[in-house]
Structure 1
Amino acid sequence: MAWVVRGEFRKLWVGQLVSASGSAITTVALPLVAVLTLHASPVEMGVMAALTVAPHLVFGLPAGVWVDRWSLRRVLVVTDVGRAVLLGSIPAAAAVGALGMWQLYVVAVLAGVFTLLSETASMTLMPALVPRDELIRANSAHLLNLNVASTAGPSVAGLLVQVVTAPFAILFDAASYVVSAVASYLIREPRREVAERSEVRLTDGLRTIFGSPVLAPLAVSATVGAIAGSLQGPLIVLYLVRELQWAPALVGVAITVFGAAAIVGSLIAPGWIRLVGIGRGYITGQFIASLTGAALAVGFAPVVLLGQALAGLGMSLFAVPQRTLRQSLVPSSSLAQVTATWRTLVIGGQSLGALTSGLLATTLGLRPTLLLSTAAMLIGTLVAVLSPLRKVAVLEWVGDLAAR
């Protein structure tokens, strides 16, 4: 990725890489703080998980308006510093014996708000730092950060928790945000067009998305895919252990296969998109990922592992063109709102799917639920296939469409 990670984008990329690595540690360490240090009940764990997602649903639409009004670099710096302080408060409170679940709840909510603002700002800033013809590769590089961090992070987190205990493992994430804040501060942010405050409405992101013949089906396809994918997400470990009676080591292999395939997908995505076109790149990625539920339902170990590989590979192949299409089709003055609105739709879809999965698994059984998730994801793919999205080959074509 050296050929893309250059100039001002390098600073953004380095900051995101460091903070993503720290966040991957906290993803494991924070629940362990609740379980091992505070002896949280299942209800308390559920509340904390819900509070982590809640900011994206409650503040998703206003976040786009807020970010549109502020300097993007300033948003990145402030949110990094804010998360460093929030996460640093956990080991500090633990050291003096004052840590409680209420503090974890506050951290979960506020860190979720800062993450929403930071992700919206970084996705909005990227097209200003990268020429249009390098957006695909830049998004691939950004996704590589997330995939490497999420694959290696849990193992590192487990080791840190064992060595320094869960609260103090979170210090590494707090430190990562300090590094990210410095990298963000060094970015020279280009001037961008900003709409007049009186012209901005909360629904502008929705209007932009569903007023576009490409973004509208892409949003529907992505949201349906998010709901379908999250139907199986909470059930995978349960299915592998209880239904297939896999040993924990083999479960770990399956999770690692997913992460490794996601890394490979982020590396090959630019070449694949050049070969088949950006619209079909999204469609093929969505289709490949949709086969995961069916592969899991087969239950034969090699097929299950193949399904995990398809999930990771497909996720990267559809994520890169999805992000690039938004960045290239939406004017810079509206991109923050569209990005925040998109996160509200997709994360809201994931929340709905996760909440529904347990009910469906109890009513229908684990295997039928996995097959249902595949069918639903294929419907999301079909939405994209039947739309103008499949004809989008290059970003110049998208630009022509935006001008109409």
Structure 2
Amino acid sequence: MRNRATPFLINGDFAKFWFGLTFSEIGARGISLVFPLLAVLTLDASPSEVGYLNAAQFAPALIVPLLAGVWLDRRPRRPSLLLVHFGSMATLLAVAALLAAGNPMLGLFYAAAFVIGMFNAINGVSTQAYLPALVSQPQLVTANSRAQMTYAMVQVAAPGLGGILTGVLGGTRAVVFFLLCYAAAGCCVLAIRTRETLDPLPDKRGTFSLIREGMAFIARSPVLRVLTLQGTWINLFDQMVLTLWLLFALSDFGFSSGLFGIVMAVSGLGAIVGSMVARAVGDRLGNRRTIITGVAAGSVLLLAIPLVSGATWLAVAVSVLAFFGYSFGHTLANVFVVSTRQVITPNNLLGRVTATYRFAAFGAIPIGAALGGLAGEWFGLRTALVIGICLLNLGWVLSAVLLPADLDRLSRPAAAR
């Protein structure tokens, strides 16, 4: 039941969960910038070595979620969050100790980035699978709005915080700061009193059989099937656009790296606004139309960017407006995509269904990045950007056509107060 004294926090255990999520996201986002910075500053790493380091951080997302989904459907999800937070803390403690001893190695950063990436991949599945145990179904949209608010705020602030701390405090102290964030996240989860009830799975079935069961559930569900295809499509061409946008902004618009960062930070505030108004928009439009509207808002305004030329102030204004709409729309849609998936999926399948969705959607990200780079070389940046944005817009058109008309009926508990 919602705690009337603290309606914004829903209830005490959700508040602890949310604070823990915030601390862990600060740690994950911040350290993702600190590692490449330290590799360059302390080891004079080459661009390709920095690229490999970034790949090491995201590579586990291609394999870990599917296995994590099976693991999480066989046991309570809370211990997995403790493993993620305290495991990440221990990994960063080892990195800080080696940095303090003056013996940094590139291999150390590769290994630590991969381990942290593995924990992050588990965390992404655990968080979404555990949340329904802390709130009632009518509170899921509100709870997911709070989570999306955290993702939005941290996405804007944490990378810059990592750069500032590295410059002001030095690499070792910056790593210590982020390991303390993970420690705080673990303590928040430890304080949660709610205990989960799980339907036991037959132990006779193997891992791959259980993975297939999660995939089959999505394949049989018209709603989940379309939402998974939509998420994969959007991430594929979203990453293509973002890869081209960085190059286009620096070359055609003439943005400095600092100006580019400011534009994206200001634009990122749209995600915070989207998470705050999701409840009200959903009440007015319903889940299905909110998802379609959010994806459309996150795509249509981007069409203005390759049409701009001339004064820098105009390019900045159009870019901020377009990416504000981008971050607002996609955050708004994500609140209802996640809530719908949580409502219509049985608890004993939620880990595997979440893992399958993230495997498909997140697995498209590195493909989209490579596709963007190749398209930029083949067609030129402006033409490739137009192609990418048009394909991204096709995603919401397909969603509008393919999303079942009865989505609101199926996910009504998530939209109810």
Instruction: Give the one of 155, 161, 172 matched to 2:160.
Output: 155
- Match in the other structure for 1:70: 75
TM-score (norm 2): 0.91
8 Å Cα contact 2:298-2:326 kept in structure 1:
yes
Cα separation, partners in 2 of 1:285 and 1:393, compared to 1, 3 Å: same
User: How big is each residue's C-alpha offset from its partner over 1:258-279, in whole Å with a ceiling of 9 and x where there is no partner?
Assistant: 2111111111111111111111
Mapping of residues 119-138 of structure 1, within 5 Å: 119-138=124-143
| Separation of aligned partners in 2, 1:385 and 1:351 | 26
Tell me the CA shift for residue 3 of structure 1.
Answer: 2.7
- Match in the other structure for 1:196: 202
Tell me the CA shift for residue 4 of structure 1.
Answer: 3.8
Tell me the CA shift for residue 249 of structure 1.
Answer: 4.2
Tell me the CA shift for residue 113 of structure 1.
Answer: 1.4
- Match in the other structure for 2:376: 361
Mapping of residues 3-402 of structure 1, within 5 Å: 3-187=8-192, 188-199=194-205, 201-299=210-308, 300-301=314-315, 302-393=317-408, 396-397=411-412
8 Å Cα contact 1:139-1:323 kept in structure 2:
yes
Tell me the CA shift for residue 66 of structure 1.
Answer: 1.4
| Separation of aligned partners in 2, 1:70 and 1:234 | 39
Tell me the CA shift for residue 194 of structure 1.
Answer: 3.1
| Separation of aligned partners in 1, 2:293 and 2:157 | 27
8 Å Cα contact 2:231-2:361 kept in structure 1:
yes
| Separation of aligned partners in 2, 1:118 and 1:292 | 32
Equivalent residues, number: 399
User: How big is each residue's C-alpha offset from its partner over 1:9-60, in whole Å with a ceiling of 9 and x where there is no partner?
Assistant: 1111110011112223212211101111111112211211212111110223
8 Å Cα contact 2:344-2:411 kept in structure 1:
no
Tell me the CA shift for residue 178 of structure 1.
Answer: 0.8
| Separation of aligned partners in 2, 1:47 and 1:78 | 26
Question: C-alpha root-mean-square deviation of aligned residues, in Å?
Answer: 1.8
8 Å Cα contact 1:293-1:371 kept in structure 2:
no
| Separation of aligned partners in 2, 1:133 and 1:380 | 29
Tell me the CA shift for residue 352 of structure 1.
Answer: 0.7
| Separation of aligned partners in 2, 1:243 and 1:232 | 15
Amino acid at match of 1:282: I
Tell me the CA shift for residue 398 of structure 1.
Answer: 7.4
User: How big is each residue's C-alpha offset from its partner over 1:136-180, in whole Å with a ceiling of 9 and x where there is no partner?
Assistant: 010000111111112121332222111112342121111111111
| Separation of aligned partners in 2, 1:254 and 1:178 | 32
Tell me the CA shift for residue 2 of structure 1.
Answer: 4.4
Tell me the CA shift for residue 397 of structure 1.
Answer: 4.3
8 Å Cα contact 2:64-2:122 kept in structure 1:
no
8 Å Cα contact 1:25-1:153 kept in structure 2:
yes
8 Å Cα contact 1:286-1:315 kept in structure 2:
yes
| Separation of aligned partners in 2, 1:385 and 1:286 | 10
User: How big is each residue's C-alpha offset from its partner over 1:107-158, in whole Å with a ceiling of 9 and x where there is no partner?
Assistant: 1111111111122111111111111111001000011111111212133222
- DSSP-derived class of the 1:291 partner: helix
8 Å Cα contact 1:30-1:167 kept in structure 2:
no
User: How big is each residue's C-alpha offset from its partner over 1:319-357, in whole Å with a ceiling of 9 and x where there is no partner?
Assistant: 101111110010000000011111111111111101111
Amino acid at match of 2:204: S
8 Å Cα contact 1:292-1:374 kept in structure 2:
no
Q: Identify unmatched segments of 5+ residues in structure 2.
A: 1-5, 309-313
User: How big is each residue's C-alpha offset from its partner over 1:53-82, in whole Å with a ceiling of 9 and x where there is no partner?
Assistant: 111102231121112223211111111111
Q: Identify unmatched segments of 5+ residues in structure 1.
A: 400-404
8 Å Cα contact 1:76-1:118 kept in structure 2:
yes
Amino acid at match of 1:198: K
| Separation of aligned partners in 2, 1:177 and 1:102 | 23
Comparing 244-253 with 79-88, which one deviates more in the overlay? 244-253
